[in-house]
Amino acid sequence: NAGVMQNPRHLVRRRGQEARLRCSPMKGHSHVYWYRQLPEEGLKFMVYLQKENIIDESGMPKERFSAEFPKEGPSILRIQQVVRGDSAAYFCASSEQGAGNEQFFGPGTRLTVL
Amino acid sequence: DAKTTQPNSMESNEEEPVHLPCNHSTISGTDYIHWYRQLPSQGPEYVIHGLTSNVNNRMASLAIAEDRKSSTLILHRATLRDAAVYYCILRSTTSGTYKYIFGTGTRLKVLA
């Protein structure tokens, strides 16, 4: 039973380019969460999605960031026109349901903006 | 959102018990207390969670204060593999969202 998969594991982009981070939840999980971790800091919630729906995007920056979780395929976190401050580790987690179920985290994507 | 406060770092000798404290004085009645740990360059790993009662599993025990304003993660016999950053997390359930609110974490060092 594969865990949460994220790819790529490492991503290097130049300022102004787009970054696409993918997350495949555990089998049977329909809830996906994205978190961002800056160096030496804890994880910060970004967005919570169910299939085809954004449930809570209170942690998403207002511009350049978007997320989706289509009916088929992985969840995508998209960052347009990246800046150096976007350099961080981005973690995806999934859960079977919302309440009462722990979240299982993927290994993360480490984004470096040059 | 309610916040958690943890010591920045702690040390323990191998084979000895470790008590990792967490303060969450503004916790709401519906917030669950979760503990995760994170090894270098890895995603957080679930350890344990609870609401009001103390909890035990194969990895650890969770002691929750009666007023729920603090909790303690107990590792009964620390091993070198337990060296990690331990996060005390409140899982908010207000407004139908189940996001985790991470604290700054405690870096546990285990001495051989």
Render pLDDT for A11-38 as a digit per residue (tens, 0 to 9).
999 999 999 999 999 998 989 999 999 9
What residue in A sits closest to B105 (Cα-Cα)? A42
pLDDT at B41: 86
Burial B51-64 (b: 16+ CB within 10 A, else e): eeeebeeeebbbbb
Give the residue-averaged pLDDT of B6-15.
Answer: 96
Considering only the beta carbons, identify the residue of A55, A56, A91 that sits closest to B43: A91
Q: Is the pLDDT of residue A73 over 60?
A: yes
CB of A106 less than 8 A from some CB of B: yes
Considering only the beta carbons, identify the residue of B43, B49, B103 that sits closest to A42: B103
Q: Is the pLDDT of residue A2 over 80?
A: no
Query: How many angstroms away from the CA of A80 is the closest CA of chain B?
Result: 24
pLDDT at B94: 66
| pLDDT tens digits along B36-73 | 999 988 999 999 999 999 999 988 999 999 999 999 99
Report residue B81: phi and psi, to 5°: -75, -10
What residue in B sits closest to A56 (Cα-Cα)? B97
Contact B110, B78 (CB under 8 A): yes
| pLDDT tens digits along B22-33 | 999 988 888 889
Encoding tokens for residue B102? 């991470």
Interface test with chain A among B99, B101, B102, by most A beta carbons within 10 Å:
B99
Contact B60, B73 (CB under 8 A): yes
